Amino acid sequence: MVRYAHLIPLFPFAAFAVNILFGRRLRKASALVSIGASFISLAIAAVTFIGNARCGEGSYMVGRWLSFGGISLDFGVTVDPLSCMMLMVVTVVGTLIQIYSIGYMRDDQRFSRFFAYMSLFMGSMLGLLLSDNFVMLYIFWEGVGLCSYLLISFWFERPAAAKAGMKAFITTRIGDTGLLIGILLLFSATKTLYFRDLGNLGINDSLLTVIALLIFCGAVGKSAQFPLHVWLPDAMEGPTPVSALIHAATMVAAGVYLVARTYGLFLAHHSSLIWVAYIGAITAFMAATIATVNNDIKRILAYSTISQLGFMMLALGVGGYDGGTFHLMTHAFFKALLFLCAGSVIHAVHTQDIFKMGGLLGKMKATGWTFIIGALAIAGVPPLSGFWSKDEILSEILREGHPVLFGIAAVTSLLTAFYMFRLIFVVLFGKPRSELHAHESPAVMTVPLGILAAFSIFAGFFRPVEFEPIMMGVSIAISAAGIGTAYVFYILGNKILPAPLRARFSFLYKLISNKYYVDEIYEALIIKPSMRLAGIAAAFDSKVVDGAVNLTAYLSAVSGKLQYWFDLYIVDGIVNMAANITWLCSAVFRRLQTGFVQNYILIAFFGLAIMILIKLTGGQ
């Protein structure tokens, strides 16, 4: 049995504490603190992983936490294949991204602050993975949300970054509210919050469905599924390593992980699963189409992430638990790789517009080739990792008998291959489209790229896949078609955009390039009315509430003035009068106090003499 998994999140948390408290003094050494902590976590995670593979499930209780009304809540740790796999992914990817950040954030003023947040982010995510009940999960869930806010708006001097952080926080909060209600509902209905009990709850189906959908709400927010996907592209305002961490290992993986972790709840009733599948399918397709027309290197990758997450949700929704979680792992590696490559490119050329780049492969060999490996992996070219997981998802969708969903998934795969190679062809090949002074990034950035590229290639072999020749042929054909189309459009066509096509489908193009107007719809339907409501509330506040407060203040002031007057003339008058009387008396009597000792003695003597005289004369 493995008994030290609960130590894994502690090291990043400790690194956070050290960096946040002593960051100023540590300066660049704070990177070493964070990376060291990550390495220790990685080592423990590896030991846990091996132990789990050898001895099977090793969940255990760490300590009693709360105990109330006959119900107790424990600090427990879940060690099963799912959490072990994710622990490995998060620690490996997180560590590599932190190493990469040394190079990327080298000149940043808040260097140590950045590493502190990164450690906190990793710690929260690791804690989330290990939680064995909803309450712990929710705590770390919010921790992850907080860190995403802090890191997305890390360059808060830029208004766009500050706004993006807020958007991410508020949008995910909507989902989190659903999750919280779901947890409370589950608790009130079943009095249990442990994941291990989710298989057989013994409550009626409709309630179960409601709970499952509410919990799914949380996953929708965190994993940027339609209709709460709007925050993820804006999250690109953060530093690129953060984007990589959010997109690959931590934040968005949390949503998929939540669904996988509470899968028993969804399996219990099929209508909730179908919701998951359709939301996933819509998201996957929508985001993929947007990615095909976007021009910002990071935003393309962001939409690609949304699309791939939709894929995972779709897989989970049709019952493909293995495919979904497998894709979660492979995606973590190649998406981290892609983001770090994009970061390296941005670091070199200082622009994010792909149509200002071009021909970078010659100048940035390491970055370019790893970029291509990542793109091949995500496009699903065998034998790279993306192929195996995507293939498994596609065959699972078909096996479960959802032809419509299969169609959407197939088109999405095609689009994935297309937009990735559009990016590759435009950025890396051809001639530079503007004045670029590209140079290869330092080794501290390219070495993590190499390691991640290796993972992207070989992660697919981590688990056996059954060979289905027809299915494989289909998925290879899809990838080839996507890449081929991109080749025709952007290399052979030798035009910046396939203009005639765009002209023909101008309505569609406009719809897609405006991201289906989701942001605008939210603006019109939710944000504007909210703002108006807020305006009314503000007016009410400033006119009525403030008026009442001001009136009270005015009355207080008047009564204060009255009291002041009373105090000044009546109370003080009496006191002063007493003082004056005393003073007048003292003016008379102080004459007695001559200050000469002999005077006093003389008076005392005469007084005594008089008293004796009176005594002697007998008082007559």
DSSP string, 209-258: HHHHHHHHHHHHHHTT-TTSTTHHHHGGGS-HHHHHIIIIISHHHHHHHH
Q: Is 590 in the site for another protein (CB under 8 A)?
A: yes
Nearer to another protein, 503 or 597 (CB): 597
The alpha carbon torsion through 606, 609, 613, 615 (nearest 10 deg) reads 120
Nearer to another protein, 202 or 595 (CB): 595
Nearer to another protein, 355 or 605 (CB): 605
Question: Nearest distance from residue 576's CB to another protein, in Å?
Answer: 20
Binding-residue pattern over the window 241 to 280 for another protein, x denoting contact by CB under 8 A: ----------------------------------------
Q: DSSP label at 488?
A: I
- In this chain, which of 539, 583, 605, 610 binds another protein, going by CB under 8 A? 605
- Binding segment for another protein (CB under 8 A), chosen from 86-94, 151-159, 400-408, 597-605, is 597-605
In whole angstroms, what is the distance from residue 158 CA to residue 142 CA? 25
Q: Is 606 in the site for another protein (CB under 8 A)?
A: no
Question: Nearest distance from residue 591's CB to another protein, in Å?
Answer: 9
Q: Is 494 in the site for another protein (CB under 8 A)?
A: no
- Binding segment for another protein (CB under 8 A), chosen from 149-157, 266-274, 344-352, 600-608, is 600-608
Question: Nearest distance from residue 587's CB to another protein, in Å?
Answer: 9
Binding-residue pattern over the window 548 to 587 for another protein, x denoting contact by CB under 8 A: ----------------------------------------
Helix and strand counts by DSSP (H, E) for the chain: 26, 2
Q: Is-contact 193 187, C-beta < 8 A?
A: yes
Residue 506 CB coordination number (10 Å): 10
Using alpha carbons, select from 222, 66, 48, 211 the residue that is nearest to residue 141.
Answer: 222
Token pair belonging to 64:
């009693």
- Please give the radius of gyration of the chain, using alpha carbons only, rounded to the nearest integer: 36
- Count the residues in the chain: 620
- In this chain, which of 467, 596, 615, 616 binds another protein, going by CB under 8 A? 596
Q: Is 615 in the site for another protein (CB under 8 A)?
A: no
- Binding segment for another protein (CB under 8 A), chosen from 48-56, 355-363, 365-373, 589-597, is 589-597
Q: Is 595 in the site for another protein (CB under 8 A)?
A: yes
Q: Is 602 in the site for another protein (CB under 8 A)?
A: yes
Q: Give kind and range of the element (H or E) at residue 65.
A: strand 60-68
Question: Nearest distance from residue 588's CB to another protein, in Å?
Answer: 12
Q: Is 597 in the site for another protein (CB under 8 A)?
A: yes
Nearer to another protein, 595 or 618 (CB): 595
Using alpha carbons, select from 307, 264, 314, 316 the residue that is nearest to residue 284.
Answer: 307
Question: Nearest distance from residue 606's CB to another protein, in Å?
Answer: 11
Q: Is 593 in the site for another protein (CB under 8 A)?
A: yes
Q: Kindly list the distances between the CA atom of residue 110 and the CA atoms of 27, 34, 444, 496, in Å, as whole numbers in the listed order.
A: 9, 14, 19, 39
Nearer to another protein, 204 or 593 (CB): 593
Question: Nearest distance from residue 584's CB to another protein, in Å?
Answer: 14
Q: Is 434 in the site for another protein (CB under 8 A)?
A: no
In whole angstroms, what is the distance from residue 426 CA to residue 449 CA? 20
Count the site residues for another protein by CB under 8 A.
9
Q: Which residues contact 581 (CB under 8 A, 6 or more apart)?
A: none
Q: Is 54 in the site for another protein (CB under 8 A)?
A: no
Nearer to another protein, 458 or 583 (CB): 583
DSSP string, 175-212: HHHHHHHHHHHHHHHHS--BGGGTT-----HHHHHHHH
Q: Is 441 helix (H, G, I), strand (E, B) or coil?
A: coil
In whole angstroms, what is the distance from residue 343 CA to residue 555 CA? 62
- CA 454 from chain centre, in angstroms, equals 27
Binding-residue pattern over the window 101 to 130 for another protein, x denoting contact by CB under 8 A: ------------------------------
Q: Is 598 in the site for another protein (CB under 8 A)?
A: yes
Question: Nearest distance from residue 616's CB to another protein, in Å?
Answer: 15
Question: Nearest distance from residue 23's CB to another protein, in Å?
Answer: 59
- In this chain, which of 66, 525, 584, 601 binds another protein, going by CB under 8 A? 601
Q: Is-contact 364 345, C-beta < 8 A?
A: yes
Residues that bind another protein (CB under 8 A): 590, 593, 595-598, 601-602, 605
